[in-house]
Amino acid sequence: MRRLCRADGAALLVALMALMLMMALGTALVLTTITETRIASSYGAGIEAFYAADAAIERALADLRTTPDWGGLPASAATSTFVDGPPGGARTLADGTTIDLTDATSMVRSGEGPRWRLFA
């Protein structure tokens, strides 16, 4: 019979350690890819929201350019042609959630100074 020497099994140990290292690197690569995909998706959604808000502002400004006296706008009932209902109350968004415009604008409606209201 042959006696086992101390070096027997070392190759198996080295192979298992290399396999564990490759698994750790693969896991890190997958997690990094998932994170980068989420970042890119969030960035795209942010850019889309920015352009939508910019377009809405441009549309409201086009209506304001045709108004001869801006000083009377807060007290009057004039609204933009870019409206989807009364200037306040609840709205249903595209994803099904709702937003209450009266609550969202209550901070600028209260306090001292001019009374603000939604135009568009």
What share of the chain in percent tops pLDDT 70?
84
pLDDT range class, residue 120, cuts 50, 70, 90: confident
- Lookup: tokens for 95: 């994803």
Nearest to 78 by CA among 66, 95, 94, 96: 66
- Lookup: tokens for 112: 């001292």
**What is the pLDDT, as a whole number, of residue 47?**
95
Handedness of CA 44, 47, 51, 53 (dihedral sign): positive
> Which residues are CB-contacts of 119 (< 8 A; sequence separation ≥ 6)?
60, 63, 64, 73, 78, 79, 80, 87
The pLDDT tens digits for 22-80 are 999 999 999 999 999 999 999 999 999 999 989 988 988 888 888 887 777 777 777 77
**What is the pLDDT, as a whole number, of residue 109?**
67
Report field, pTM of the whole predicted structure over 0.85: no
